[in-house]
Each structure stands twice: as structure tokens, then as C-alpha cells.
Chain A
Amino acid sequence: MKKEKLDTGIEKKNIIDRVWKFLASVKLGIILISLIAFTSIIGTIIEQNVQPEKTMKFFVKLFGPELAPKAYVVAQKLDFTDMYNSTWFLSILFIFSVNLIVCSLERLPAIYRAVNEPLKPLNIEAFNKYSIKKHFKLKGNMENAKKTIYPIIKRLGFKTEGERSIGIYQYYAQKGMKTRYAVYVIHLSIIVIFAGAVIGNLFGFNGYLNLPEGSKSSLAYTRDGKQHPLGFTIKCDDFNVDFYGNSDMPSNYTSWLTVIDNGVEVIKTKHIQVNKPLQYEGYTFYQSSYGPIPDNNEVLLVFKVTPKGGKPQFVSVGKNGNFNIESTKLTGKIVTFSPALAFDEEDKPYTYTKMLNNPAALVSFTEDGQPKYDRLILKRYSETWELPDGHKVELVDYFGYQYTGLQVRKDPGVWIVYLGCILMAIGLYASFFLNHKKIWVYLTDEKGYIDIKIAASANKHKQGYEIKIDTLLKKYIFKEKTTK
């Protein structure tokens, strides 16, 4: 064929064609996959989104004090300290998406044809070319042979078509054609996940909110401290850390949250934990951290007081407050409080952490103004709750001392990401565990015998398919009939 160099139209078409072919190639896919894999490593070595001093320190360690500033400038220029959000990295991801789409579009028409092409009957001359082939003879006539063979085809899950000519009968069928689309479902799912991520980044919000016990807020904050109005108010009713036994190993962090919208309590004192967030109006609140507010003066000690023979009552007392034990003349006065009490080697009490790990209150009891006894009451140790007079004073909470750290997120794209994940799971299953199978059974009448040729093929898992056919043949035919 002659090349028509003069026709610029064709030349242009060639360029577009070439670009399309390039974008559609598996080779480009592999190059991009490698590129993403190798460049991703950078961000795992250089810590991302940290203060410049930290990065600088790391570079000094790596390259020495002289080269570090230069390395820092280069890293800064190439966005290595925030590389996953950099233009160049996102561009690679974008080209990768384009490659995925073009590559799939390029191959889909052929796959569509392969899926919808009706199966042709067996060309008996080409029998030897099939990857799975069985050949044997059965005694009897055609009808008997058909009755023997048909259950096998059915057990393999095929809906058969038959074809008859003189002295010959043929079954042929295929199934699982649509599994040929599976790979493209996986490709599509990646695009869907990317789309979800992009939507989340553009229209979502990711921030935090630290709420002291008892306080409320209608704002959340971004990572760089900007205010973000929520459109409703969230209140922390209480926060608590549970521990395993008397150890300092936390077993649960729990916040009790109330949502107030237009003055109405729409969600009342719902408890959230790590792995159990609260959702309202597109926002999700996650239990992510907590901490003490040591200088808060509005803290309340909550006691559960049970007079001897009486009913328990809850009393809340300020830092230096008093409380009475009902129907007695006993008054308790808080002398001092420790969020985490321990004793040193000389048995001197001290506070070992600011966290509320082992709350203890020293309470001085008086009767009619006369000092009676001092008691150290610890939340964790029930033996310290009993008073000598048979009353019980349990330390329940130190309210207002802690704040709960909530991660606040609004991500309209997350459902798309989840959808993509489901698509991917379906695609993976179909692509790795299912296949497109074909079978032909060719019966020839040979005077008292029926000659049977079975040909079969599959685009994947051929071995398993053949084993299945062999097992069924053994079960239905070879156990009873004579074979050749």
C-alpha cells in the first residue's frame, strides 16, 4: 500500500490514532503502575504534612548539615512534603485514569462481540484442536446415549442446544460469557473510587472538635484552625475512659453526645465509641482523642451516697464543696483530689498522670461540726467506699475535668467510594473465580454403538473444568457401562 503523505487529514488522523493507541496500551498501564508505586515510596520515607523543622531535622540526619538545606529546597519545589496532594502526583493518577478508561473502551467492542456471539456447533474435523477432549463409545442406540449424556451436561450447568443430521446428534452450549466483562468492572470500580475521592475532596470537610464535658459548640475546626459552622449544635454530656481491670490499659473511650438543631434536641445523649461514630446531617463525629483540662474550676465531683439502710443518691460537689449524708448529721468536705493517685516507695501519695486514670478524693467527715474521720475514696477500689458507720460513698465521676476529641467529617463522596469497593469485589470474584466455558458433545451412530466425542474449552481454570467433566463421566457412565 502507498502512503498518502500529501493528505494532511489522514496524517492528523494518524496522530490522533497513535495517541489513542498509546493511551490504550497495556504497556502504558504498566509504566504508570510502576510510576505510581515507585513515587509513592517517597512519601513513606519523608513524613508528610509536618512542620518544616521536623523535615529539616530528618534531612540533616540523612544528608548531613551542609546538604540538608539544599535537599530541603529541592523537596519543597517537588512538593515532597505533601506529595500525595501535589499536582504532579495527581497528574499521574489522572493519566492513569485516562489510560484505564481508554484501554477498556478500546477492548470492550471485541469483548461485546465475544460475549454475544452465538456458539457454533462442533466442526468435527477440528476436534483435536480443542484443549479438553474425551472420546469413547457406548453400547446401545442414540436415544439411550442421549439419555445418559444429557444429565452430565445439565450437571455442568449448561442450557443446551441440539442439532441433528443423519446418524448424528450434537449438543453444544456455553455459559459464563458475561464473566469476560469482569476485568472491566474492576477497571470501572477504580474510576468510581477515584470519582468518590475527588467529590469528597471538593465538597467534603475534615476537621476536629474538642468539647469539654458539659459544653457545646456549633463550630468545628479545620486542621489549620479555621472555623467551620456546622449548622447545628453539638453538646458533650459526658466522657469516660474504661480500663481493663485496675490496669491503665484503656478498654473503651465513650462520649455521650446530644445534637441540638433549631433549639430542639434531635439526638439525645447518644453514646459514641471508637468504631461507633454518630451521624447527623451528613456530618460524622468520631471518637478520636481526649485529654484533661487541669485548670477548669467548674469541675464537679459526683458521688453516689448510700446512707446505712437508705437509698442511694447522687450528689455533685465543687472542688472545695461539702455534701451531707441524708438523714444523718455527717458532712463530707473535699480536702483534695487527684486524677491519678499512686503511692511512692515511702508511701507518700502523688499524682502519676494528668489523665483520669485512678481518680481519688480525700474527704474529711464531720459530725455536727466535730471532725470525725478522713477517708480516701478511690473510684476504682470499692473497698474504699465503705465508711466506718456503714454508709457508702462511691466516687462516680469527675465531671468537667476531661474533654473529648472528636474528628468531624462530611464526605459526600464516601458512598461512591463504597459503591466502587462493592463493584471491585464483584469484579474480582467474577474475574478470578468464574470463567467462560464451552462444551460440545458429538454423538455418532455406529451400528449398535454410539461414538461419543466431547470437546470443551474455557478461558480460565481449564484444569478444574476438565476435572469436573472427568468426575461426572466417571459417575454417570464409566462405573456401569463398558468403554473403549
Chain B
Amino acid sequence: MSSSEFFGYATMGYIVAMIMYIVFIAFKNERLGFSASIITIIGFSCHTIAFIMRWLDSYSMGIGRAPLTNLYESIVFFVWCLMLGYLVIEYKYKYRFFGAFVTPIAGMALGFVGLTGMSQEIQPLVPALKSNWLLAHVTMSFIAYSAFALSFVTALLYLVVATEKKSEGAYIFWTIAGSVFFIIIAAMGIDYVRYALVEGVKFESQNYLLTSTFLNPNKTITFLSYLVSILIIVIVWHYGFVLKNLLISFKIKTAILDELTYKMVAVGFPIFTLGGLIFGAIWADQAWGVYWSWDPKETWSLITWLFYAGYLHARMLKGWRGNKVAIIAVVGFITVVFTYLGVNIFLAGLHSYGDLS
């Protein structure tokens, strides 16, 4: 079997696990939760095998390099770190409900890979990318990103559990952030059902992302998509307490969610500083003689870093504990996503190897 086949099984496993985790939360069926965990572990094992095989494949092709050098490979590695981090947390804290919120992030990342039709081939490296600093830079960045992703989930859950009133700013914030998260996944799901299941499209070289809904050439459908989105936000806002009650029934305490968020940031922040910023700067210095050039990718990494530095300091201020700090952690992850994908999609820069084309 090939690397991509194993990766296909991993993807399938994560998506099945996602559905099972969500059903588990809704019906609290312990056996279902247990099966979801088992499927996640199987998916993760397939993922690991796929990763190693791809690495070996590159050697047999005479290119010989770690599979961490283009957008596709980096997303795959991000998901791997994310699932590993999740499994560790599940094992340590025995929090299975958490899976219902982490697996969608994995699903989203993998859906992005498929729907944008980005190149999945093993390509040789251009000269600038041949550097061990770069390898360390990329590896550590994605470990940090996945830690930040987990902190995003715990911070969002913190807000769900900690907020009391519908008029509260923090409540409105989480309902909007949560809805947008849900809407994007749902829109990607619609794309998949339409293209893969109904039309039987093979995702290659063409970008299908959100073309069934928000980017539909038919203006009426686009308009309807936005309308439905607003409706979803209003519904989530109105029935947000249902999710809160569900979570409370799992005996989740805000203190533990706050601590988990902090722990994830405390793991991600030093790794990101060293790998993402310092090693990145050393690599740029070796390659171009400029350790910092304020190009968009660098600047956005700095913005991300400042957000988490802000988070760590704000936690020391009395009035900021709780909701405000959790909001910073949520927004921090949004800046991570923008640094990771937004810059490549929207802004030009030195890091052109991550192009979607």
C-alpha cells in the first residue's frame, strides 16, 4: 500500500471519529465515545505510517528529505501534531468530550487540502529551502501551531461554560466565533458531498473550496449562504446555553479549562519563539543576509507572537482573568491561521513556496 492510501484511511478515520465524538456528546453513550477514541488511534497510526512512507519514498525518488517543505506536507504534519496532542490530553485528563471539538479542526485542515486541490506530489527542493534551520523552523512552528489550536478549543469551551447572560460580550463573542467555525466546516462538508459524492470529481489542481456556497458563481446562492450563516449565528446565540448544559453535564470546570488553555500556550509559546521566530530568522540570515525584513509572513508571525505574549501577561492582571484572557487565546489562534494560510492566500511575500497553485 502507498503513503497516500494510508493517508486516505487516516482522513476517513478522523472524519468518522469526529461524527462519533459529536454523537457521543449529544447522547453520552460511553461505548460510542470509547469507539471514537479507538478509531482516532487507528487513524493516527495510519497517519504516522503514511508520514514515514512518504519520507522513505522521497529517498527512493532520489530527493531525500523530510516531508515538511510545502503547504500540503505542512498541513498534514500539523494535523498529526494536533491529533497526537489531543490523544495525550485525552489519556491524561480522561476528557473524551474534547474530541468533538478537536477532530473538526483536523477535518477542516484535511478538507482544505482536498478541496483546494493543492499539489500533493513529492517535489524536489529549490536551493533556498535546503537548510537544516528551515527544517527545525518548520517542524517547531507546526508543533506550536497545534498546541495553539488546542488552546483555541479549550479557551472557546471556557467561554461556553463561563458566560452567563446572552447580552454579555464574551457570550456574543463565543457564539459568533463558534458559529463561524461551524459554518466553515458545514460549507466544506457541502462541497465534499456535492463534488466527491454526487459529481464524482477528483480533486486535482482546481480550487473547489466553498464554491458550492459562499463562492458559488450563482449570486442567489451566495446571498442565501450569507443569509443562512447569519441565521445560524442567531440560532447559536439563542440556544448557546444548550451546549453549556451539555458540557456541564460532563462535569467540566472552568478552572481546568483555563489551566489547559494556559498549559497549551505555555508549550506552544516557547516552541514558537525558538522555532518559528528565532530559527526562521537564522535561516533567513543564512540564505539572504537579512534576519528580519518585515515581509508579511514574518510580520504576521510577530503579530501572533505578540498576541500570545499579551495572553501570558494579561493573565497576571487581576481584572483580565477569565473571559478576557480566553478571548485573547481564541483570537490568537485566528492570527495563527492567518499567518499560516491567510498570508499565502491574501498577501504576497518572500515565502512564495507555500503558494496554493
Binding site for B on A (CB under 8 A): 26-27, 29-30, 33-34, 36-37, 40-41, 43-45, 47-48, 84, 197, 206, 244, 249-253, 273-277, 284, 286-288, 407-409, 411, 414, 417-418, 421, 424-425, 428-429, 431-433
Q: List 22 A-B contacts (CB under 8 A).
A: A27-B317, A30-B310, A37-B310, A197-B292, A206-B289, A250-B126, A251-B125, A274-B287, A275-B127, A275-B128, A275-B287, A276-B286, A284-B289, A286-B289, A408-B289, A409-B289, A414-B291, A417-B291, A424-B273, A428-B274, A432-B266, A432-B269
| Closest chain A residue, CB of each to CB of B298 | A44
- Chain A residue at minimal CB-CB distance from B292: A197
Is the beta-carbon distance between A33 and B300 smaller than 8 angstroms?
Answer: no
B299 in complex: contacting residue of A40, A244, A424, CB < 8 Å: A40
Nearest A-chain residue to B130, judged by Cβ = A275
Contacts A44-B300, A421-B278; A36 near B290 (Cβ below 8 A): no
Please tell me if B314 contacts chain A, counting CB pairs below 8 Å. Answer: yes
CB distance from B143 to the nearest CB of A (A): 14
Complex Cα spacing A433 to B283, Å: 26
In the complex, A424 Cα to B130 Cα: how many Å?
A: 26
Decide if B316 is an interface residue (CB 8 Å cutoff): yes
Kindly identify which residue among B131, B296, B309, B316 contacts A33, using a CB–CB cutoff of 8 Å: B309
Tell whether A249 pairs with B285 under 8 Å between CB atoms, given A30-B317, A428-B273, A432-B266: no
If over half of A's interface residues share one DSSP class (helix, strand or loop), that class is named, otherwise mixed; here it is: helix
Q: How far is the CA of A276 from the CA of B286 in the complex (A)?
A: 7
Question: In the bound complex, what is the Cα–Cα distance between A288 and B286 (angstroms)?
Answer: 11
- A44/B343 contact (C-beta < 8 A), A33-B310, A273-B127, A428-B273 known: yes
Let me know if A428 and B270 touch, CB within 8 A.
yes
Given contacts A41-B299, A277-B286, A431-B270, 10 further A-B contacts (CB under 8 A): A30-B317, A40-B302, A44-B347, A244-B63, A249-B123, A274-B287, A286-B287, A414-B291, A417-B281, A428-B273
Cross-chain contact of B294 among A84, A206, A408, A414 (Cβ < 8 A):
A84
Asked if B127 and A44 sit within 8 Å, CB to CB, the answer is: no
Contacting residues of chain B (224-279) with chain A, CB-CB under 8 angstroms: 266-267, 269-270, 273-274, 278
* CB-based contact A26/B316 at 8 Å: yes
Interface: B169 (CB within 8 A)? no
Q: Contacts A33-B309, A428-B273 hold; do A251 and B127 have CB atoms under 8 A apart? A: yes
Nearest to B265 among chain A residues (CB) is A432
Which chain A positions have C-beta within 8 A of B300?
Answer: 44
Taking residues whose C-beta sits less than 8 angstroms from the other chain, chain B's interface range is 35 or more
Give the shortest distance, in Å, between B272 (CB) and chain A (any CB): 10
Q: Mark B104-136, 1 if CB is under 8 A from A, else 0.
A: 000000000000000000011111101100000
| Chain B neighbourhood of A274, CB < 8 A | 127-128, 130, 287
Which residues B290-347 have CB closer than 8 A to chain A? 290-292, 294, 296, 299-300, 302-303, 306-307, 309-310, 313-314, 316-317, 343, 347
**Given A30-B317, A45-B347 in contact, is the A36-B124 Cβ separation under 8 Å?**
no
Q: Is B281 a contact partner of A421 (Cβ separation < 8 A)?
A: yes
The yes or no answer to B348 lying at the interface (CB within 8 A) is yes
In the bound assembly, the distance between CA atoms of A337 and B286 in angstroms comes to 37
Q: Which 5 A-B pairs have the closest CB atoms?
A: A409-B289, A44-B296, A428-B270, A274-B127, A37-B306
Pair A48/B309 contact, Cβ less than 8 Å: no
**Chain A residues in 8 Å Cβ range of B177:** none
Which one, A30, A411, A424, A429, contacts B278 given CB within 8 A?
A424
B299: chain A residues within 8 A (beta carbon): 40-41, 43-44
Shortest Cβ distance from residue A385 to the other chain B in the assembled complex, whole angstroms: 23
Chain B residues with CB under 8 Å of A275's CB are 127-128, 130-131, 283, 286-287
| Nearest A-chain residue to B125, judged by Cβ | A251
B32 interface contact, C-beta 8 A: no
- Smallest CB-CB separation from A425: which chain B residue? B274
Contact between chains at A288 and B126 (CB < 8 Å): no
| Docked CA distance A252–B129 (Å) | 10
Distance between Cα atoms of A409 and B347 in the complex (Å): 27
Q: Give the Cβ gap from A277 to chain B, nearest Cβ, in Å.
A: 7
CB-CB under 8 A from B291, the residues of chain A are 414, 417
What is the distance, in angstroms, from A146's C-beta to the closest C-beta of chain B?
35
Asked if B288 contacts A407 (CB within 8 A), the reply is: yes
Q: Is B282 an interface residue (CB 8 A)?
A: yes
Which residues of B sit under 8 angstroms from A284, Cβ to Cβ?
A: 289
Check A47 against B348 for contact (C-beta < 8 Å). Answer: yes
Residues of A within 8 A of B130 (CB): 252, 274-275
Report the Cα distance A409→B288, complex, angstroms.
9
Assembled-state Cα–Cα distance A321/B340 (Å): 55
Task: Let me know if A252 and B348 touch, CB within 8 A.
Answer: no
Chain B residues, CB < 8 A from A432? 266-267, 269-270
Q: Is the CB of A34 within 8 A of B289?
A: no
B259 (CB) vs chain A CBs: closest residue: A463
A417 to B281: give the CA distance in the assembly, Å.
10
Chain B proximity of A245: nearest CB distance (Å): 9
With the chains together, A119 CA to B40 CA distance in Å? 49
Minimum C-beta distance from B235 to chain A (A) = 32
Alpha-carbon separation in the docked complex, A153 to B106 (Å): 44
Q: Write out the residue numbers on chain B whose beta carbons fall within 8 Å of the beta carbon of A414.
A: 285, 291
Q: B315 to nearest A CB, angstroms?
A: 10
Check B274 against A252 for contact (C-beta < 8 Å): no
B residues near A252, Cβ cutoff 8 Å? 127, 130
Distance in angstroms between the alpha carbons of A414 and B285 in the assembled complex: 9
The answer to whether B270 touches A429 (Cβ under 8 A) is yes
- State in angstroms the CA–CA spacing of A431 and B313 once bound together: 13
Q: Could you tell me the distance between the alpha carbons of A288 and B343 in the complex, rounded to whole angstroms? A: 23
Nearest CB of chain B from residue A61's CB, rounded to whole Å: 13
Bound CA–CA A48/B348 (angstroms): 11
The docked-state distance in angstroms from the alpha carbon of A407 to that of B347 is: 25
- Please give me the residue from chain B that is nearest to A25 by CB atom: B317
When chains A and B are docked, how far (Å) is the Cα of A425 from the Cα of B302? 16
- Alpha-carbon distance between A453 and B273 when the two chains are bound, in angstroms: 41
For the complex, give the distance between the alpha carbons of A342 and B350 in Å. 31
Q: Specify the chain B residue showing the minimal Cβ separation from A460.
A: B266
CA distance A408 to B288 in the complex (A): 9
Residues of B near A287 (CB, < 8 A) are: 127
- By the criterion CB–CB under 8 Å, are A251 and B124 in contact? yes
Across the interface, name the chain B residue whose C-beta is closest to A243.
B124
Distance in angstroms from B217 CB to nearest chain A CB is 22
B326 to chain A, nearest CB (A): 15
> Do the beta carbons of A34 and B310 come within 8 Å of each other?
yes
Query: Separation in Å of the B267 CB from the closest CB of chain A?
Result: 8
Cα(A474)–Cα(B348), bound, Å: 58
On whether the beta carbons of B294 and A48 are closer than 8 Å, the reply is yes
